[in-house]
Amino acid sequence: MQQLEGDDPIRAARVRDRARDSIDRLSPGFPGDHATGTLAEDQDAEVRFADFANDEPCPALDPATGRCDLYAFRPMTCRTFGPPVRSGHEGGLGVCELCYHGASDKEIAACEMEPDPDGLEETLVEEAEQSAGVRGNTIVAFVLGS
């Protein structure tokens, strides 16, 4: 957001406005801390989060064009949305069914990608948490709206 604010402050303001609108809509049912946007870590919250905000448009997407206003700086979850990604703790492939409608399991598996081939994500997340002084999972709207 800092880069976008420097390059295009009007577009950055639109992203923040969309994020804040999203937070207003999502807060009543958010399975965690409404003030910080940090997801709760209990089993009930995980169950509630599984389908939480599935119909909410990403605030980084320009509704007029459908393009991502933060594409060059998108988070890991956005980078892996679409390509099938193997989930180590579940043992299966996570895949966007909209991208692979009608494809066989073999065709989907052939498109699998490794999202963190160098194993950097854990270190980068720890550094970001220490720098921000905040720890925990959240959703894009809370990050962009702050």
The string of pLDDT tens digits covering residues 7-28 is 999 999 999 999 999 999 999 9
Number of domains the chain is built from? 1
What domain range includes position 90? 2-124+137-145
In a domain, 129, yes or no: no
The structure's pTM equals 0.67
In a domain, 130, yes or no: no
80 within 8 A of 112, measured Cβ to Cβ: no
Mind listing the pLDDT tens digit for each residue in 113-132? 777 778 888 898 889 889 88
